A and B are shown apart, each in its own frame.
Chain A
């Protein structure tokens, strides 16, 4: 059975007729053509590579049906940069060598941004606890934690200045 939805992704409304059983991650990848959001664990909800923001909260897009997001706002990794200017966390991932194969990166960026935006007092323990839903199989967690913390600290510093 098909149904009509309008889902806003990175500020653009995508109006489509889709099967009810379509997962949000497939809507993002195949209907909107935004392939930065990855599927790492064949939809088991274990890897976090498909993490996106739904109305500002990090969620796994393989654990939600697209139809449930009708009328709502999604941000994917493609929506982090402003024009050609990368998000500070994207720059930090580069500087801290927080990616190797890059498969988990989009999900970790989305979880990382969620953490940075919601907690102004991040520390290593909070970051490590915060990214338990994202697997990195190159095992680059230390660098990923460093990258997230560097942006969080820069923000705190800016606020103090």
Chain B
């Protein structure tokens, strides 16, 4: 567990300098964000970087910002800052749920939302949370152009994203909220705050009478990578927070079609059980948050 020799290290202070450094060093160059996953891969020599472009000094991609229409989270914002944020309540509280239980205290002091999304580990929390919320990502290319992309189009199979070679994730924009909305995320791990065997995210928007008008349900811990559970989302429409039977049925029915796998942590059927239980909990909590009820 020790890195192979690394030829170059650059710590730019601007995005332009970062992509220029990446272009200059070429193949086997890696951006390093918080490094809490990447350093593991580097130490096990699964990744042997020629050069590391360290993003920690680039101020413009840090912090949680209230913009006129929406909230923008810089890609280099750490888990601990998301977990403590007062801006991320109600509609976006799933981010707080997720970030507050990633890894451990030390990891949350270094690890970042952007790093987690770009790494897209099989059972990471941030991809599933953002998939539920429906975040939009902004990336800068090697030629300096920026593009916006929906989280669905960004995340692929585990460890895969549609990020191009040298592209740099700048920020995560949260959707504009009209009316009442709430979100929640919960995972089940073998150890406290460990990687989830299954994690479920829920984002609900409510109509005037408090029934669900649109739902986004995501799940992590599947071999396919994080996915939305469309059957559950459809079944939740029109359901109210007090309709526990309706919530239960939506999750029970959709769990049967969930493509789960068996491994040493849990068998396929148990993963479906976890999805149902965690799903009920996060949907109920998302309702409560949308309705402004204290937990």
Q: Is the CB of B110 within 8 A of A63?
A: yes
> How far is A156 from B246 in the complex, measured between Cα atoms in Å?
47
Residues of B81-114 contacting chain A, CB below 8 A: 103-107, 109-110
Chain B residues with Cβ below 8 Å from A65 are 3, 9, 35, 39, 52
Query: Is A44 in the interface zone, CB < 8 Å from B?
Result: yes
Query: Is A59 in the interface zone, CB < 8 Å from B?
Result: yes
Residues of B11-70 contacting chain A, CB below 8 A: 11, 32, 35-36, 39-40, 43, 52, 54, 56
Chain B residues with Cβ below 8 Å from A84 are none
Q: Is the CB of A20 within 8 A of B106?
A: no
Query: Is A38 in the interface zone, CB < 8 Å from B?
Result: no
Residue of B whose beta carbon sits closest to that of A56: B109
> How far is A19 from B193 in the complex, measured between Cα atoms in Å?
34
Picked from B6, B11, B103, B106, the residue with its CB within 8 Å of the CB of A58 is: B106
Would you give the 0/1 interface string for A108-135, flagging 1 where the beta carbon is closer than 8 Å to chain B? Answer: 0001001100000000000001111110
Query: Is A45 in the interface zone, CB < 8 Å from B?
Result: yes
Question: In the complex, how many angstroms separate the beta carbon of B30 from the nearest chain A beta carbon?
Answer: 12
Query: Is B243 in the interface zone, CB < 8 Å from A?
Result: no
Chain A residues with Cβ below 8 Å from B192 are 129, 132
Residue of B whose beta carbon sits closest to that of A68: B54
Of A57, A67, A115, A132, the most chain B CB neighbours within 10 A belong to A132
Q: Is the CB of A51 within 8 A of B8?
A: no
Residues of B189-232 contacting chain A, CB below 8 A: 191-193
Picked from A44, A59, A131, the residue with its CB within 8 Å of the CB of B110 is: A59
Residue of B whose beta carbon sits closest to that of A111: B105
A-B pair count, CB < 8 Å, reads 89
Question: In the complex, how many angstroms separate the beta carbon of A146 from the nearest chain B beta carbon?
Answer: 19
Question: In the complex, how many angstroms separate the beta carbon of A82 from the nearest chain B beta carbon?
Answer: 24
Q: Is the CB of B106 within 8 A of A60?
A: yes
Picked from B2, B7, B11, B39, the residue with its CB within 8 Å of the CB of A45 is: B39
Chain A residues with Cβ below 8 Å from B35 are 63-65, 68
Q: Is the CB of B4 within 8 A of A21?
A: yes
> How far is A131 from B105 in the complex, measured between Cα atoms in Å?
7
Residue of B whose beta carbon sits closest to that of A43: B1
Interface size class of chain B, counting residues whose CB lies under 8 Å from the partner chain? 20 to 34
Q: Is the CB of B2 within 8 A of A1?
A: no
Classify the secondary structure of B's interface with A.
loop
Q: Is the CB of A58 within 8 A of B105?
A: yes
> How far is A60 from B37 in the complex, measured between Cα atoms in Å?
12
Chain B residues with Cβ below 8 Å from A64 are 35, 39, 110
Query: Is B5 in the interface zone, CB < 8 Å from A?
Result: yes
Q: Is the CB of A133 within 8 A of B8?
A: no
Residue of A whose beta carbon sits closest to that of B110: A59
Would you give the 0/1 interface string for A41-63, flagging 1 where the beta carbon is closer than 8 Å to chain B? Answer: 01111001001001001111011
Q: Is the CB of A20 within 8 A of B52?
A: yes
Residues of B176-195 contacting chain A, CB below 8 A: 191-193
Question: In the complex, how many angstroms separate the beta carbon of A5 from the nearest chain B beta carbon?
Answer: 10
Of B32, B40, B105, the most chain A CB neighbours within 10 A belong to B105
A to B CB contacts below 8 Å, 19 in the list? A1-B5, A19-B6, A20-B5, A20-B7, A21-B3, A43-B2, A44-B40, A48-B104, A57-B109, A60-B106, A62-B43, A63-B106, A63-B107, A68-B32, A70-B11, A111-B106, A129-B192, A129-B193, A132-B104
What are the 8 A-B residue pairs with the smallest beta carbon separation, nearest first?
A: A133-B104, A21-B3, A43-B1, A57-B109, A20-B6, A20-B9, A60-B106, A21-B6
- Chain A residues engaging chain B, CB cutoff 8 angstroms: 1, 3, 19-21, 23, 42-45, 48, 51, 54, 57-60, 62-65, 67-68, 70, 111, 114-115, 129-134
18 more CB-based (< 8 A) A-B contacts, given A44-B1, A65-B3, A133-B105: A1-B7, A21-B6, A23-B2, A23-B3, A43-B43, A48-B106, A54-B109, A60-B106, A60-B107, A62-B43, A63-B39, A64-B35, A65-B39, A65-B52, A68-B54, A130-B105, A131-B105, A132-B192
